[in-house]
Each structure stands twice: as structure tokens, then as C-alpha cells.
Structure 1
Amino acid sequence: MQFTPELIEEIRSRNDIVDVIGQYVHLEKKGSNYMGLCPFHNEKSPSFSVSQSKQMYHCFGCGVGGDVFSFLQRYNSLTFPEAVKELADRAGIALSAADDTEEARKERSKRQLIYDANKEAAKFYFYELRGQGGKAGSDYFQGRMLSSETMQKFGLGYAPVGSNMLVNHLRKKGYSDEIMILAGLAAHDEKRGTHDIFWNRVMFPIFDINNRVIGFGGRVLGDAKPKYVNTNDTPIFNKRRNLYGLSFAKNSKAGRFILCEGYMDVIAMHQAGFTEAVASLGTAFTAEQAQLIKRYTPEVILSYDSDGPGVKAELRAIQILKEAGLRGKALNLEPYKDPDEFIKNEGRDAFERRLRDAENTFFFEIRIMERDFDMTDPAGKTAYYRAVARRLCEFQESLERENYIQATAAKLAIPVNDLKNLVVSVASEGIGRTQPKQDIKVNQNQKKRDPMENVLKPQRVLLTWIADEPDIYKIVKKYISPDDFTDELYRKVAQKMYEGLDAGRFLAATIISLFPDDEEQQSKVSEIFNTNLVRIETREEKEKALHDIIYDIRRMSYEKQKSEIQLGDANALKTIVDSKKKLEELAHSRIELD
């Protein structure tokens, strides 16, 4: 569906970017902008800036940026039309009824067709489980002590024996083989043609936060390998960016999430009343999933399997939670392997007690670390204490480090002062290293990677300055035209900016709409309009700074013109001579503010 610029601007004007982003990110007013922790990368100090005046966002940490439409595109994995529709609905703006015509329905995006195919597949698996051919699946779930209400809530199903039963069903519903394959529901080869991905498996539909089916997990019935098959990444599903059970857990009032490894663990906990349980999707816990959790709660209790692989996975997850700024605790399930097994044997109340007694993740880590040392040998015991001291050195805040030293000394039954001295000793081993020199080298390499930085920075500063203070435009345009910007993107931005200011209706965010499906260009535009400006106190300083920037831009424009001149081109030569004369005049002139 095509949207007119006027409609886009009406939708934008009725969806203030601070209000929209504030639903997903905690923002605080800092000066003229709002700041928060970036939802697109791990950070502990806020570098994510949202400008109400420009209706733009920009992260000074990872560089992403854009407008209210691009935020929803990136955050919720939407297409531009989907973001427009969501914001239009939010503002109560009716979109064109032409989208409901038969022709428009036929031209729906592949993404929407994939959503529809997944929904139809979920219904197919659901009814197969409850039909005559689904007895094997039904017996499996009943053996896991799941109630019919729980099975209904999670939409559990069964993929029957046979290689093309779902494919035939979806074909009858009008779905093409291409859509089935794109959705991860089918595959194609020369021997079998288009055939089902899942068969003879109990099925676990995976829902997004809007309760749409985006993928499936399937557990085999019998001894076939692999035990679990999960939907591969598709246009609507990314395993790293979703969590099983999140569509329910986000509405929990527990004030925490319980993170576990498997579908059945989540389902067993929800059935027992712990509706805050979620799980990763056939992969190790990821930084993207940590950021997803962070939208809803600051605390996570890790409930991983108590075997060797489960402990290793838990240690990795602890580090990811730390980097995301989330508080973590570790649940002790021994002597049982997983939450499902624990609840079946001990019951809900015992599990609740274990949750209350969940272990601080630091103490969990050093307890597991102790297994690597021979604590019956004095040398091994000393080595363990030194390893613990090194971990204590990782706490940056002195008060937090002191608290952990005291608590750790009590846990290990050693004198506090002895542990404190050991921490000081271990910390001193790192003094005198050449890290600063390495940082300088990195910075030098960065400059080598950006040879145009010295050319582009004054141009960014000027464009940001005009966006912040449109009144200086009438002065700037006397000296600088869009053609003076040496980069193609900067020229395009300047051209649109000049046109908008001349018409008296410029908004920086409108330029983002020139690149609805290009995240890289959107981020570059947001960077152009979010350059840090040095605070200027007096009128004289401001006039001098403006003069210097204008002169630098004109000088670089002149250098570019000179480098592109063709020998024998008399008109070009005259242009260069005139430009040089004007540049010399500008160097000795003064720019005055009105």
C-alpha cells in the first residue's frame, strides 16, 4: 500500500516520539532531550537520546537512529507499512479502504501471508492432536501431567506421521509452496518435492508479544534424531530475539522472570501458577533476549538443568544478564534435573520456597568454580581463594565490592581482612599494563578507517545547528548552498532541509521518511542531526564559530571543485577562479547575527 507524504506527516504529528518510545524504554529528561538505555545493544550508562523537537532518536553508543516509524520497524521487526498501520491505529487515523479490496488482499506482503500460514498450521496441529490420529501426541502430553486447560492455553498440537499432510492442507487453503517454505513449515528437494518439516512430533507454537504465531518447536515421538526441531529464522521469526512463553509472562505481576531451557519447563511452571516463566528457543541465551526481558522486569531467576551442560549454560546466561544490567539469581533444583521434574515430585509450595531461597549469581559462580580446585590441598585452596579475589576485583564500585568481600568472607569462613588484602594483592598485579597505549592505537586506526571525518564533521555540525536553531538558516543560506556539501547523502539532506525551511515547515524527522526500508541510511541521517555542539556563551563567540564552520565548508567545497576540474574547460576554470575569490573574501569578512 502506498502512503502519501501528507498522510505520513499527519500520523507522525499525532504520535509524539517521546510518548511512543517511552512505552518501550524508560526515558528521563536531560536538557532539551530525553535519555535512556539503548534497546538495541547492551549498555549500563544511557546513550540513547530522543529529541522531541526533531522527532528523532539516536544512540551515541551503537549509532542506530531514526524516527518514530523506524523505531517500531527495528524494535518490533515490522515493515514500514506495518509500522504506519500500527501508529495510525494508535492515533485513530483510518487508512484508505482500498487496502481491503480483493486486488489489495492478493498483493499483501509475504510477511502477512507467512503470519497467516503459521496461524493455519497451528490450527491444523491443534485439531490433529485432538483427532483420532493424534492419540500418540495426546498420550505424551497426558503422561507429562498437563491439563486440557494448559494444553489449550499454549495451543499444543501434533504433527501426524506423513511427509506432506500439512503441505496438502495449506495448499487447499490457497497458500503457495513459496510461502510455506518461507514460513519454515516446508522444505523442497528433487526426491520428495515440497514436504512437511514436522511429522510425528508434538508441537509447541511460538507466539510473539502480540500473540501471533511466528514459529514452532517440535519434539519427536520415539527415538528418532534430532529430538527437537525448531523453525529456522524466517522473515517474521528470529530465535535470538524471541522467548517462549513471553506473550503470557509479560502480563505477570511477579516482578521478575524465571528463565529456563525448555518448552515443557515453561508450561509446567505456568500450570503450577508461575506465569513469569520463559525459555530461549533452541539456542543458548542471547544478548538480544536479555534486552527483550529488560523491557518488562529488572530481575531474572535462572532455572536451568542441574546437569553439566545446564550449569555451563547458566554461567553464560549470568554474564549476559550482567552486561544487560539485569539482576540475576540462580535456582537450586537438586536433586532434580529441571523445573518440570521438581514440580512433579515436590509440588508448587516446595518450588516457591526454592525461588525464595534462590542464590545470588556471584555466589553461584564461585561455588561452581570451586569444583575446579583440590580443596584438600593447601595450594589448591589458596589458588581457589585467589581466583575468588580476581572475581571480586571485577566490581567497579568500591561500596559494592566491599559488601561482596564481607559476604564472601563469611561464606568461605575466612577473615575479612585476609580476603581484602588478597583482593588488593591481586588487583595490583594489573597495574602498569599498557592498555592506554592500546586505546590510542585503536583510536588511530579508527581515524584511518574514516579519512573523510575531518571533511564531514563541520557539515554535520552546521546541519545540527540549523535544526536546533532554524533562525540561523537565513544567514547560512547566503553563504552555503546544498551543492557545497561534499557527500551525496549530506547534499540530499541539505536540499530537503533548505526546501522545508524556505516553505516554513521543516521537521528533521521527515528526512528519515526518504529511506523507509534502509536502516543504515536512517542511522546516518540521525547522526547528521545529533552532532554534539559545544556550548557557546556570548554573541561574539557564536558569530566566530558560525563563520569558521561556514568557511571550512566552503573551503572543502572549493577543494572538491578544483579536484574535479577538466583541463580545457573554460567555464569550469572561471567557476574555480570565482570560488577562490569568494573564499578569500569570506576569510576576511565577519558574519553577524541579526
Structure 2
Amino acid sequence: MYYSDEIIEEVRSRNDIVDVVGQYVHLQKKGSNYFGLCPFHNEKSGSFSVSAHKQMFYCFGCGAGGNVITFLMKYDNLTFQEAVKELAERAGIKLPEQDDSPAAKAARDKKQILYDINKEAAKYYYYQLRGKTGQKGMEYFRSRKLTDETMQHFGLGYANITSDDLTKHLKKLGYTDGQIIEAGLASHDDKMGTHDKFWNRVMFPIQDASQKVIGFGGRVMGDGKPKYLNSPETPIFDKSRNLFGLNYAKNSRAGYMIICEGYMDVIAMHQAGFNMAVASLGTAFTTGQAMILKRYTDEVILSYDSDEAGTKAALRGIGILKEAGLKGKVLDLRPYKDPDEFIKNEGREAFEERIKNAENTFFFEVRVLQSQHDMSDPQSKTEFHRKLAMKLCEFEEALERENYIEAVAARYNIAVDDLRRLVSSVASQGGLVRKVERPKSGIQQKRTPEDGAKKNQRLLLTWLTDEPQLFPKVTRWITPEDFSDDLYRNVAKELFQGMESGNFSPAAILDRFTDEDEHRQVAEMFNTNLIEIETREQRKKAFRDIIYGVKAAGYDRLKKELKPDDPDFLTKTIQGKKELEKLSHADIMPDD
């Protein structure tokens, strides 16, 4: 569906980016912008910035950036048209009727084909499990005490031991090799041709929150490797942004969600009546998954295996929940390994009791910390107490910190005044001091002269969008032609024209650039800031240096593009050099 620029602008302007992003990311205002943890990569410090003034987001860590439409496209894996439609509905805007021309329909249905292929595959696996060839798979599920109703509820299936059954079936339905491969259900090589990705495995269909099958998990029958195999990432399947069982758990009214490790844990819990259980998809729990959970609840109980690996996963999960602004607890499954094993041995009521007594995440961390110290040795015990005091320093609110000091003192038989003094001592050494650092990407790259020139241009474009009143001072020296390459010049032209007419919008400019890499670069152009400008003198010097840097880069480009036999070669070269000399002696003031 084609939407006019006017419609797109109305949809964008009626959806404040801070409000929209705030539904998915926990944002805190710092200065004129809002910051939070980037939903597009795992991080511990908030490098994800949202600007109400520019109506843009930008991550200083991974470089993701864009406007409110781009955010929804990237976050929910939507097409441009799908994102516009969702935002229009949110703002109560009626969109034009859908374009049903063959070309428009073909483009719109490209993702739908992948959904359809996965749906047909799920049906095929489902019937294979219940046929003669699926006996091995059925025996496995029976051994795990699953009922027919549960197997039907989750659409469980079986992939035959032959390696091309599904591919043949889907091709009979009219799908091409390329489409089947793109859906993540087949591979191709010279020896075997196009062949099934899954075979000799019990199959777990993975559905998104709207009940569409987007991928599969498969457990091998026997001793084959890998034990569990998941669909590869496809245009409709992003492992880090989906959760197994969420399509059912989202409707739970428990008031909390339980996240565990495997498909069978989720299925066993749902069968026992705990329909709030979900699992990550063959990957570690991610910030993106935490933010998905936040749409449905504000409390998450971690239910990982009780072995060392499970403990590490729980500790990591606690950090992710904190970063996402979610309350967390940890389920103690000892002496059993996982929820499935616990329920089989102890039953539903005992498991429900464990949920009621789920451990506060702070005390879980402290219990793990204590297990790493010999409490019979005075030196080791003292070291544990000091680390305990350091953890108590993490509570920024005085009242909350005091409540935990009293609770910890009672639990570990420490005199409360002694613990309070130890916490104060640690705090005085920096335990309560949170150093605020500028977000970093963590990636160090060699800088070239061209990189420096482009950085000056990005700094200038960002400065202009932050302080448009500087535009007349900039245009006294700089034109769009001074920018170094086509992309930068095109952005500068758009911005300068908008500022001349008094109607500029960085978010609107972004929509002119649909290529993903260009879109990212343009977002960066409006989100490049100088690290430290504290005094008026520093501001003046930075402004002058940036103006000169942009002009010098433009002059260098001009010299490279002009040929000696060009009739204007000498004139333009001399003129450019004079302008640079004049600029080098000019007193350029951003504030006067």
C-alpha cells in the first residue's frame, strides 16, 4: 500500500516517539533527551537515546536509529506499511483504502508466504506424529507424561527420519525451493540438493504473540547432534525477540510470568495449570525478551535448572530484569533439576507452594555469594560481609537500603549497627558513587582523514537540529555543496531547505532514505554530539573548528573533482582557497 507523504507525516506527528518507545523501553530523562537500555542489543548501561525535539531514537552502542515508524519496524519486525497502519490505529487516523493492484499485493504478501509455509509445515509435522512413521516421537512424548490434549494444544509434531519429506510436500503445494529455504525449513547443497532442515526429531512449533507459526524447535531422537535444533533467523523469526509459549502465557491472569529454559519445561508447567510459563528460544535470556514480558507483567519469576549453569543463567537474568525495570524472583527447585522433573515428582500443589515462596532476587544473589565463601574461616567470612555491604550499597534509595540492611542483619546474624557502619564505610570509599559515563560502542576502529571530515559534518548537522537559531551563522560560510559525499549532501540539502522555510523535521528527512544502511547513517548524522563543552570559550572554539573542518573537506573534494583542463579549474581553486583563508581568520561566534 502506498501512503502519501502527507499521510505519513500526520501519522508520525500524531505519535510522540517518547510515548511510543516508552511502552517498550524503560526511559529516564537526562537533560533534554531520554535514555534507556537498547532493545536491539544486550547492554548494561543505557546508551539508547530518544529525543522528543527531533522525534528520533539513536543507540550510541549499536548505531540503530530512526523515527517512530522505524522503531516499530525494527522492534516488531514489521514492514513500513504495517508500522504506519499500527501507528495510525493508535492515533485514530483513518488510512486510505488498501491498494489491491497485483504489484502491491505481491509485495504485501511476501512475508505472508513465509507464515503460510510455516503453518503448512506445522500441520505436516502434526499429522506425521500421529501416523505410523511418528511412533518413535509419540513414545518419547508419552514417556514425558504428556496428554493427548497437551500435545494437541501445543501442536507438537514429528519430522520423519527421511531427509526430504517436508520439502517434497511443500513443493507439491506450489512453494519453491527458495521460499522453503527462506522460511528456514530446508537447506541446499550440491550433494543433497534441497533437503529438510529437520528430520528424525520431535517438533515444537514456535508461535508469535498473535498465534502465527514463525519457526520450530526440534529434539533429535537418539544420540544425534545437536540435541536441540532451532529454526534459523528469518524475516519472520528473531530468536532474541520471541518467547516460546507467549501466545498462551500473555492471557494468563496470574499477575506474573515464569521464564524457564526449555520447551518441555513450559509444556509441563502449562499441563499442570501454570499457563504463565515461557522460555527463551535456544538462546540466553535477552533484554529484548525482557521488554516483551514487560508488555504483559511487571514481575517475572526465574525458573532455571538448579545446577551451576542454571545458577549463572539466573544471576544474568536478574541483571536483565533490573535493567528492564521488572521486579524479579527466583524459583528454588532443589533437589530437582528443572520444573518438569519437580512437577513429575512432587505434583502441582508442591510446585505452587514453591512459587509462593520464590526467593527475592537480592537474597538469591547473596545466597550464591555466601556459597563461595568458607563461613567457618574468619577471613573468608569477613570478606563475605564486605561483599554483602557492597551489594547493599547498590540500593540508591536510603529507605530501601535501610530495610535491606535490617533484613540481611537478621538473616545472617549480624549486629545491625555493625552492618550499618560497614555499609557506610564501603559507601565512603565509593560504594554509593555511581560514575556516569558517556555511552560507548565498545568498538575501536582506525580513524582516517575521511572519517574526521564526516564527523565534523555530523557534528554540524546535529548542532543545527539542536539549535536551529544558528542556521544563519552557518550559512554565512557553509552550503550543502561543502559536504563530502552524495548522502551527506542530500541530507544537508533537505535540512537547509527545511530551515529556510521554517519547517524542518529530522524525523521526516529520515523517511527519504529507505535503504537500511543509509537510514542508519542519516540517524547518526542527527545524533553526534561533542563530549565536553563546559565553557563559552570551548563552545566558540568547537563551533569555529567544525565550520572550518566542513569547509576544508568541501574544498578538498572540489580539488579532487576538478580537472586541470576544466575552464573553471583555476578560478574555483583560487576562490576556494581564499574562502578558507578568510574563514581561518574570522571570529565566528555561536552566541552573540
Q: Tell whether the structures are fold-level matches, with TM greater than 0.5.
A: yes
- For the pair 1:382 / 2:379, whether they are aligned, the reply is yes
Label 1:45 to 1:312 Cα distance change in 2 as closer, same or farther (>3 A).
Answer: closer
1:207-226, aligned counterparts within 5 Å? 207-222=207-222, 224-226=224-226
- Find the aligned partners of 2:515 and 2:19 in 1 and give their Cα distance: 23
- C-alpha distance after superposition, 1:95-129 (max 9, x if no partner): 65345x3x665666754432221111112223334
Query: Which residue identity lines up with residue 389 of structure 1 in the other structure?
Result: R
Q: Deviation of residue 367 (structure 1)?
A: 2.8
Query: Which residue identity lines up with residue 497 of structure 1 in the other structure?
Result: L
- Find the aligned partners of 1:139 and 1:530 in 2 and give their Cα distance: 58
Native 8 Å contact 2:249 2:275 kept in 1? yes
Native 8 Å contact 2:25 2:324 kept in 1? no
Native 8 Å contact 1:204 1:216 kept in 2? yes
1:385-424, aligned counterparts within 5 Å? 385-387=382-384, 389-390=386-387, 392-394=389-391, 395-397=393-395, 399=398, 403-416=403-416
Deviates more, 1:393-402 or 1:278-287: 393-402
Hey, what does 1:483 align to over in structure 2? 481
1:351-366, aligned counterparts within 5 Å? 351-366=351-366
Label 1:408 to 1:30 Cα distance change in 2 as closer, same or farther (>3 A).
Answer: closer
Native 8 Å contact 2:256 2:301 kept in 1? yes
- SS state of the match for residue 568, structure 2? helix
1:572 aligns with one of 557, 569, 572: 569
- C-alpha distance after superposition, 1:172-219 (max 9, x if no partner): 111122222232222344554433333343321111233221111123
Label 1:384 to 1:77 Cα distance change in 2 as closer, same or farther (>3 A).
Answer: farther
Label 1:388 to 1:64 Cα distance change in 2 as closer, same or farther (>3 A).
Answer: farther
- For the pair 1:494 / 2:492, whether they are aligned, the reply is yes
- SS state of the match for residue 194, structure 1? strand
Label 1:451 to 1:576 Cα distance change in 2 as closer, same or farther (>3 A).
Answer: closer
Native 8 Å contact 1:44 1:325 kept in 2? no
Hey, what does 2:173 align to over in structure 1? 173
Matched pairs, number: 580
1:521 aligns with one of 508, 511, 518: 518
1:485-564, aligned counterparts within 5 Å? 485-486=483-484, 488-501=486-499, 506-518=504-516, 520-530=517-527, 553-554=550-551, 557-558=554-555, 561=558
- C-alpha distance after superposition, 1:241-291 (max 9, x if no partner): 322112333343434321111112112223333332111222333444334
- C-alpha distance after superposition, 1:8-60 (max 9, x if no partner): 44654555544543443355777766555543345677654444554322345
Query: Which residue identity lines up with residue 481 of structure 1 in the other structure?
Result: T
Q: Deviation of residue 532 (structure 1)?
A: 5.4
- Find the aligned partners of 1:290 and 1:146 in 2 and give their Cα distance: 29
- SS state of the match for residue 229, structure 2? strand
- Find the aligned partners of 1:592 and 1:300 in 2 and give their Cα distance: 50
Hey, what does 1:232 align to over in structure 2? 232
- Find the aligned partners of 2:475 and 2:548 in 1 and give their Cα distance: 13
Q: Deviation of residue 71 (structure 1)?
A: 0.9
- C-alpha distance after superposition, 1:420-467 (max 9, x if no partner): 676688889999xxxx9xx99x99x97974766775566445434544
Q: Deviation of residue 495 (structure 1)?
A: 1.4
- Find the aligned partners of 2:589 and 2:329 in 1 and give their Cα distance: 62
- Find the aligned partners of 2:428 and 2:469 in 1 and give their Cα distance: 56
Unpaired stretches in structure 2, ≥5 consecutive residues = none
Q: Deviation of residue 331 (structure 1)?
A: 0.9
Label 1:556 to 1:429 Cα distance change in 2 as closer, same or farther (>3 A).
Answer: same
Deviates more, 1:217-226 or 1:179-188: 217-226
Identity of aligned residues (%): 56
Deviates more, 1:118-127 or 1:478-487: 478-487
- Find the aligned partners of 2:422 and 2:469 in 1 and give their Cα distance: 62
Query: Which residue identity lines up with residue 159 of structure 2 in the other structure?
Result: A
Query: Which residue identity lines up with residue 229 of structure 2 in the other structure?
Result: V
Native 8 Å contact 2:37 2:324 kept in 1? no
- Find the aligned partners of 1:590 and 1:232 in 2 and give their Cα distance: 55
Native 8 Å contact 2:409 2:416 kept in 1? yes
- Find the aligned partners of 2:445 and 2:283 in 1 and give their Cα distance: 37
Deviates more, 1:89-98 or 1:350-359: 89-98
Native 8 Å contact 1:25 1:295 kept in 2? no
- Find the aligned partners of 1:348 and 1:232 in 2 and give their Cα distance: 35
Native 8 Å contact 1:79 1:517 kept in 2? no
Deviates more, 1:330-339 or 1:110-119: 110-119
Deviates more, 1:80-89 or 1:407-416: 80-89
Tell me the TM-score normalised to structure 2 length.
Answer: 0.80
Hey, what does 1:126 align to over in structure 2? 126
Label 1:330 to 1:191 Cα distance change in 2 as closer, same or farther (>3 A).
Answer: same
Q: Deviation of residue 482 (structure 1)?
A: 0.5
Deviates more, 1:125-134 or 1:234-243: 125-134
Label 1:59 to 1:218 Cα distance change in 2 as closer, same or farther (>3 A).
Answer: closer
Native 8 Å contact 1:70 1:516 kept in 2? no
Native 8 Å contact 1:42 1:324 kept in 2? no
Query: Which residue identity lines up with residue 282 of structure 1 in the other structure?
Result: G
Unpaired stretches in structure 1, ≥5 consecutive residues = none
Hey, what does 1:93 align to over in structure 2? 95
Query: Which residue identity lines up with residue 382 of structure 1 in the other structure?
Result: Q
- Find the aligned partners of 1:92 and 1:85 in 2 and give their Cα distance: 9
- Find the aligned partners of 1:243 and 1:144 in 2 and give their Cα distance: 22
Hey, what does 2:284 align to over in structure 1? 284
- Find the aligned partners of 2:524 and 2:224 in 1 and give their Cα distance: 52
